[in-house]
Amino acid sequence: MHSIVARAWGALSEGLKFGERRAGLKFFLEWAMGLKSSDNWCMTIPFSKMHGTGNDFVVIDETQRSYGLSEKDYRFIADRHFGVGADQILTVRLSADPEIDFEYHIHNADGSEVEHCGNGARCFLRFVREQGLSQKSPLRVKIKKGVIELVDTEDGQVSVKMGVPVFEPSLIPMDVNHTQEVASSANGFKTWQVTLPGLETVQFASLSMGNPHAVILVSDAEAAAVERLGPSIEHHPAFPNRVNVGFMQIRSRQDISLRVFERGSGETLACGTGACAAVVSGIRWGLLDAKVGVKTRGGSLMIEWAGEGHDVVLSGPAVTVFKGELDRP
């Protein structure tokens, strides 16, 4: 099998220019792994287990070969009893665009693919460095919802330009026919309300950080009803693509505590896009300054936002826990 694939790539790549080879290799790898999977060929998949403030990931290098993983495979890998265990799985790939250094895909523990993940982005950069894939800085990376930029910081952490927040309901997306506007600040930032089963009402801010978020103000994050309210809001008809639900306690104008119930994963120890969404909401509510520390159950993050039209910048740690190999039948 290996010799057949090698000869096929040699024939395909002969005569291609360098830039064409980069794009051709990506296509060929996907074809080759489809051939192998159709033969039920057992694969050994190297991986790194990583975390960013306790939000944990299995990271897989697909720059040289595609493993053709299915939703079932992602669920198996993420399973904490029968697989490796993770909130999400990241697959690192080459980009066919010469202006983009890499691309990576993000799958939740339930196998669904999502648009963005701030903690995962930091782990991605650490993985690329440790695997010797690139030392370029800043690194431009394509994700499902656009392009982000990552840099190493002098204190050994990772800083990510997470993109510009989106507030237009149709782009979050949020269906306003299933919500009620209950307040609007002087700058036009709206607070919404939904009714949950049992006729309980919840007020929140809604925005997209490349993925949808609802942010709820609470007096005590530790006492918040995350497990009770999170699933009901995640699956509410107001959110056609489901939603990540943040529970934010404001401690000062520069400091918040946050818990997040992530769609497809449940509550995680930290959520990078959730931290960005919470701070942006607090700033637009007039409750927070432009630079805010975020305390999560897994550790601390720093969020900076200069206002509408500007990227949100997320900074925090990224740690490799161990490396291993996984046999996929």
State the Cα–Cα distance between residues 244 and 230, nearest whole angstrom.
8
The DSSP bridge partners found for residue 180 are 193
Lowest mean pLDDT among 26-30, 152-156, 238-242: 26-30
- Residue owning tokens 């000869």: 7
Q: 145 and 52: one domain?
A: yes
Q: 300 and 181: one domain?
A: yes
Of the residues 42, 123, 271, 276, which is catalytic? 271
Q: 58 and 182: one domain?
A: no
> What is the mean pLDDT of the segment spanning 160-171?
96
Compute the mean pLDDT over every residue in the chain, rounded to the nearest whole number.
Answer: 90
Residue 213 CB-density burial (10 A; 0-12 exposed, 13-18 middle, 19+ buried): buried
Of the residues 42, 117, 123, 276, which is catalytic? 117
Q: What is the pLDDT of residues 31-81, one digit of tens each?
A: 455 544 444 456 899 999 999 999 999 999 999 999 999 999 999 999 999
Residue 14's pLDDT is 53
Are the beta carbons of 140 and 152 closer than 8 angstroms? Answer: no
Q: 133 and 244: one domain?
A: no
Q: 282 and 185: one domain?
A: yes
State the Cα–Cα distance between residues 211 and 276, nearest whole angstrom.
11
Q: 184 and 251: one domain?
A: yes
State the Cα–Cα distance between residues 67 and 201, nearest whole angstrom.
45
Q: 36 and 148: one domain?
A: no
Q: 324 and 259: one domain?
A: no
Domain encompassing residue 20: 1-41
Does residue 271 have an active-site annotation?
yes
The pTM assigned to this predicted structure is: 0.82
Residue among 298, 303, 265 at smallest CA distance from 281:
303
Q: 228 and 198: one domain?
A: yes
State the Cα–Cα distance between residues 249 and 116, nearest whole angstrom.
24
Residue 300: give its domain's CATH number. 3.10.310.10
Does residue 123 have an active-site annotation?
no
The full DSSP string for 125-180 is HHHHHHTTS---SSEEEEETTEEEEEEE-TTS-EEEE----B--GGGTT--GGG-E
Q: 265 and 279: one domain?
A: yes
Count the domains in the chain.
Answer: 3
Question: Is it the case that residue 3 has pLDDT exceeding 60?
Answer: no
Q: 303 and 196: one domain?
A: yes
According to DSSP, residue 3 is labeled H
Q: 261 and 193: one domain?
A: yes
Q: Where is the domain boundary, 41, 56, 73?
A: 41
